[in-house]
Amino acid sequence: MDIADLPLREDLRGRSPYGAPQLDVAVRLNTNENSFPLPKQLVDDIAEAVRDAAATLNRYPDREAAALRTDLAAYLGHGLSERQVWPANGSNEILQQVLQAFGGPGRVALGFTPSYSVHPIIATGTGTGWIDGTRAGDFTLSAENAVAAVKEHQPDVVFLCSPNNPTGTALDLDVVEAVLAVARGMVVVDEAYAEFARTGTKSALTLLPGHPRLVVTRTMSKAFGMAGLRLGYLVADPAVIDALHLVRLPYHLSALTQAAARVALAHGPDLLATVELIKAQRDRIIAELPRLGLRSVPSDANFVLFGGFADAGATWRALLDEGVLIRDVGLPGWLRVTAGTEPETTAFLDALEKVATA
Ligand code: PMP
Distance from Cα 134 to the centre of ligand 1, integer Å: 21
Say yes or no: 126 and 180 in one domain: yes
**Minimum CA distance residue for ligand 1 atom 14:** 90
Q: Which atom of ligand 1 has the smallest separation from the CA of 164?
A: 3
Residue 18: predicted pLDDT = 87
Task: Please state the rounded mean pLDDT for residues 71-98.
Answer: 98
DSSP state of 162: S
Which CATH number is 89's domain given?
3.40.640.10
**Minimum CA distance residue for ligand 1 atom 4:** 192
The closest of 2, 229, 234 to 96, measured between CA atoms, is: 234
DSSP state of 88: E
Residues 223 and 195: their CA atoms lie apart, in Å, by 6
Distance from Cα 95 to the centre of ligand 1, integer Å: 10
Residues 305 and 326: their CA atoms lie apart, in Å, by 11
H or E element in which residue 334 lies: strand 334-338
Q: Is the pLDDT of residue 272 over 80?
A: yes
Q: Is the pLDDT of residue 254 over 90?
A: yes
* pLDDT per position as a tens digit, 192-219: 999 999 999 999 999 999 999 999 999 9
Residue 255: predicted pLDDT = 98
Task: Please state the rounded mean pLDDT for residues 235-243.
Answer: 98
Q: Is the pLDDT of residue 358 over 80?
A: no
Distance from Cα 5 to the centre of ligand 1, integer Å: 32
Say yes or no: 312 and 221 in one domain: no
* pLDDT per position as a tens digit, 165-199: 999 999 999 999 999 999 999 999 999 999 999 99
Cβ pair 46, 264 in contact under 8 A:
yes
Say yes or no: 94 and 232 in one domain: yes
* pLDDT per position as a tens digit, 299-346: 999 999 999 999 999 999 999 999 999 999 999 999 999 999 999 999
Pocket probe for ligand 1: among 92, 216, 234, the residue whose CB has the most ligand atoms within 8 Å is 92
Distance from Cα 252 to the centre of ligand 1, integer Å: 18
Q: Which atom of ligand 1 has the smallest separation from the CA of 222?
A: 15
Other residues' Cβ atoms within 10 Å of the Cβ of residue 245? 13
Residue 356: predicted pLDDT = 85
Q: Is the pLDDT of residue 105 over 80?
A: yes
Instruction: List all residues whose CB is within 6 A of at least one atom of ligand 1.
Output: 32, 90-92, 116, 161, 165, 190, 192, 219, 221, 227, 232
Last residue of a domain, one of 245, 267, 289: 267
Last residue of a domain, one of 267, 289, 318: 267
Q: Is the pLDDT of residue 240 over 70?
A: yes
Say yes or no: 160 and 170 in one domain: yes
Say yes or no: 147 and 28 in one domain: no
Distance from Cα 308 to the centre of ligand 1, integer Å: 26
Q: Which atom of ligand 1 has the smallest separation from the CA of 230?
A: 15
Q: Is the pLDDT of residue 20 over 90?
A: no
Residues 157 and 38: their CA atoms lie apart, in Å, by 36
Say yes or no: 89 and 174 in one domain: yes
Q: What is the mean pLDDT of the chain?
A: 97
Q: Which atom of ligand 1 has the smallest separation from the CA of 91?
A: 16
- Confidence class of residue 295 from pLDDT cuts 50, 70 and 90? very high
Q: Residue 254: exposed, middle, or buried by beta-carbon count in 10 A (0-12, 13-18, 19+)? A: middle
Say yes or no: 243 and 128 in one domain: yes
Tell me how many domains the chain contains: 2
SS3 content of the chain, % helix, strand, coil (to 5): 45, 15, 40
Query: Domain range for residue 292?
Result: 3-38+269-356
Pocket probe for ligand 1: among 116, 122, 162, 218, the residue whose CB has the most ligand atoms within 8 Å is 116
Say yes or no: 108 and 127 in one domain: yes
Pocket probe for ligand 1: among 18, 221, 229, 253, the residue whose CB has the most ligand atoms within 8 Å is 221
Residue 19: predicted pLDDT = 79
Q: Which atom of ligand 1 has the smallest separation from the CA of 219?
A: 16
Distance from Cα 56 to the centre of ligand 1, integer Å: 30
- Confidence class of residue 2 from pLDDT cuts 50, 70 and 90? very high
- Confidence class of residue 23 from pLDDT cuts 50, 70 and 90? confident
Say yes or no: 241 and 328 in one domain: no
Say yes or no: 97 and 167 in one domain: yes
Please report, rounded to a whole number, the percentage of residues in the chain having pLDDT higher than 70: 100
Say yes or no: 65 and 194 in one domain: yes
Last residue of a domain, one of 267, 288, 312: 267
User: Each residue of 28-67: b (16+ CB within 10 Å) or e?
Assistant: bbbbbbbbbebeeebeebbeebeeebeeeeeeebeeebee
Task: Please state the rounded mean pLDDT for residues 223-248.
Answer: 98
Which CATH number is 281's domain given?
3.90.1150.10
- Confidence class of residue 22 from pLDDT cuts 50, 70 and 90? confident
Distance from Cα 106 to the centre of ligand 1, integer Å: 26
Distance from Cα 193 to the centre of ligand 1, integer Å: 8
Say yes or no: 25 and 67 in one domain: no
